[in-house]
Amino acid sequence: MTVERKNSLKQNKVGHFKVKNYKFERVENLKCLGVVLNKDNSNQADLQERVNNANKTYFMLLKFFKIKTYQRN
């Protein structure tokens, strides 16, 4: 994935690009080190994924939070 100005992105929207002898495929989204990167440099997809994961974790642990015999210090 390349990060470039939007004007040049419209010109080279499809296909591959080359750096020296290496050929790279253009992709819409890429997950790198736990962060979702996309062609528009927008972080909405990454934020939405983090919110969804937090909700899954919360609702998975909800029964544990409701246990009354659990001691809280």
pLDDT in tens, 7-65: 454 555 567 778 888 888 888 888 888 787 777 777 887 888 889 999 999 999 988 88
* CA dist 32 → 4, 10, 18, 53, 69 (Å): 18, 24, 20, 17, 42
- As given in the structure block, the two tokens for residue 16 are 């591959």
- pLDDT score of 13: 57
- As given in the structure block, the two tokens for residue 66 are 């409701």
* CB within 8 Å of 49: residues ≥ 6 apart: 36
Q: Quick check: pTM over 0.75?
A: no
